[in-house]
Amino acid sequence: MASIFISGEIPAVGYDLLSGHELTVYKGETLITEEELLEGTREADALLCPLSTKVTRKVIESASNLKVIANFGAGYDNIDIAAAKEKGIPVTNTPDVSTEATAELALGLMLGLMRRIPEGDQLSRTTGFNGWAPLFFLGRELTNKNLGIVGFGKIGQAVAKRAIAFGMNIYYTGRGKKEAVLEERLDATFMEFDELIKTCDVISVHTAYNEDTHHMFTKDVFTRMKKDAFFLNLARGPVVKEADLVKALEEEDIAGAALDVYEFEPQITEGLKKLTNVVLTPHIGNATVETRDEMAKLAAKNILSVLEKKAPLTPV
């Protein structure tokens, strides 16, 4: 029987799969602190952690028995991968299972932003309106708009698939051009980044986060976008320099923005909260019952595989 520390509550299916082992679950109302994580992992054989848990070098080096770190999330920038590698501790994540849910939210945010749904809901609940009028509460249609997808991996492709149903024209940018069969299937056209931001009506970001994509979107980029363009970020918060985004919105360099992730998460830049042409959601890209269950299963199976001295299923 192994000792497994879980640094945040997860769906019950994950506990069920790990039930043959000794489980300790952090159930605090706030995110776990480094001190609490140090204590929890001190004798643990495995750590299962939500991506909001910061697994630092100090934590990794102090955990003398740790055999595997299973991240509950597709990303893993919350873990000091170099420190884990030095100690020979495999790190796993939960890729792919969140693709559909995140793509669905992207289209939801797109519709909410361009058709002003949150604004309309707020108006209807407060002052109300005087009735239908030809110029009242105008938004923008998705039909015939150019959608620029930054990062054309599985999530970006899933967004494209759904956007086609709304009659959008699909363009993408990333590390390189995809194979012709994929482009043909999704009716997608590759563009270099500089061309894409100047051409597209909607920019939806789904790129991986690393030192190359840190602050990919700054005031300089926003000023080169179309004045009536809409911007969405469902990747990682630091891809965007939020102070610059606020300025771009205030100065009407772009028409609006929708964010599910934040540069200083969980804090949200105050300027964003004051703008009516911004839709904000609390990092819920894959927050569906179905997806979170699958993430819990995969994280648990990765731990079990390593504890059984087998290769992890989804190592990073």
The residues annotated as belonging to the active site are 236, 265, 283
Measured at the CA of 82, the angle between CA 80 and CA 87, to 5 degrees, comes to 100
Which structural domains are found in the chain, ordered by start?
3-97+289-307 (3.40.50.720), 99-280 (3.40.50.720)
Q: Do residues 55 and 34 make contact, with C-beta atoms less than 8 angstroms apart?
A: no
pLDDT tens-digit map of 100-138: 999 999 999 999 999 999 999 999 999 999 999 999 999
pTM of the complete model: 0.91
pLDDT tens-digit map of 171-209: 999 999 999 999 999 999 999 999 999 999 999 999 999
